[in-house]
Amino acid sequence: MRRLGIFGGTFDPVHFGHLLPAIEVLKVFALDTVVFVPAAAPPHKLTEPVTSFAHRFAMLALATTPHQGLVLSDLESTRSGPSFTVDTLREIRAGWGAEQLFFIMGSDSLAQITTWYRWPELVELAHLVVLRREPLWGAGLERHVPDILRPRLRLVSPSRTADLAAGEAKGWVFLLEHEPYPISATVIRRRLQAGEETDDVLPPQVSRYALKNRVYHRGERDD
């Protein structure tokens, strides 16, 4: 059975808060691969400046290549208009031959799921795997989960593996109880602009690329 994880996001830049939990999801859910799918035009960030797709993609390539099981797709860059997750999952389901899809998102994203385009269809196409992003966890998170998703919630301990969702193609919302990684790309961009160290939050090859190409230098990215 082919089990694919799909991790969508802006990845501006990709950081350890994406990479470390993605590696955990790969193991816990016994996935064949986790595919990072950077948004060409992130619908939630249409009014904010976003680094070019080419730079974000290049940094993702540097970050994912060393890890077996992590791969990268440019499929959202080939579509025009905003990058809607529902279209991406539909395309993957139709063309990639995966029997089980696990769409990965942070708990902050789950808390805003009702703002996503055609969000009820997501669980008709995939399982959701929710990463722990403080402070949105436990009762505080559940309050933000829409009624139709609440019965689908399943808490998952990282020490359990494989038998999860065996055979079921879609429909569960797994809350993965991993150690939280309190890292955000917004803070990283500010640190890079200020010339601060980022070794605790970024793979060194990503920070080298960002510095060499002046990706986050003031004025180069319009913010």
Kindly state the smallest distance separating residue 131's Cβ from ligand ATP, in Å.
4
Crossing angle of helices 204-212 and 53-64, rounded to 10°: 150
Please tell me whether residue 177 binds ligand ATP under the rule CB under 6 A.
no
Please tell me whether residue 13 binds ligand ATP under the rule CB under 6 A.
no
- Strand pairing class (33-38; 3-9): parallel
Q: Which residue in 59, 105, 149, 210 binds ligand ATP (CB under 6 A)?
A: 105
Please tell me whether residue 77 binds ligand ATP under the rule CB under 6 A.
no
Please tell me whether residue 10 binds ligand ATP under the rule CB under 6 A.
yes
- Residue among 1 and 52 whose Cβ is closer to ligand ATP: 52
Please tell me whether residue 159 binds ligand ATP under the rule CB under 6 A.
no
Pairwise CA distance, residues 77 & 160, whole Å: 36
Angle, CA 202 vertex, CA 10 and CA 30 arms, to 5° = 70
User: With CB under 6 A as the contact rule, which of the stretches 88-96, 166-174, 178-186, 206-214 interacts with ligand ATP?
Assistant: 178-186
Name the residue among 148, 130, 127, 114 with its Cα closest to residue 44: 114
Kindly state the smallest distance separating residue 133's Cβ from ligand ATP, in Å.
4
- Residue among 29 and 181 whose Cβ is closer to ligand ATP: 181
Q: Are 127 and 102 in contact (CB under 8 A)?
A: yes
Please tell me whether residue 21 binds ligand ATP under the rule CB under 6 A.
yes
Region 129-158 residues binding ligand ATP, contact defined as CB under 6 A: 131, 133
Contacts of 115 (CB under 8 A, 6+ apart): 44
Q: Which residue in 9, 83, 149, 210 binds ligand ATP (CB under 6 A)?
A: 9
Alpha helices in the chain (DSSP H): 16-28, 53-64, 85-95, 107-111, 122-125, 138-142, 185-193, 204-212
Q: Are 131 and 99 in contact (CB under 8 A)?
A: no
Please tell me whether residue 181 binds ligand ATP under the rule CB under 6 A.
yes
- Residue among 5 and 21 whose Cβ is closer to ligand ATP: 21
Please tell me whether residue 73 binds ligand ATP under the rule CB under 6 A.
no
- Strand pairing class (127-131; 33-38): unpaired
Residues that bind ligand ATP (CB under 6 A): 9-12, 17-18, 21, 105-106, 108-109, 131, 133, 181, 183-186
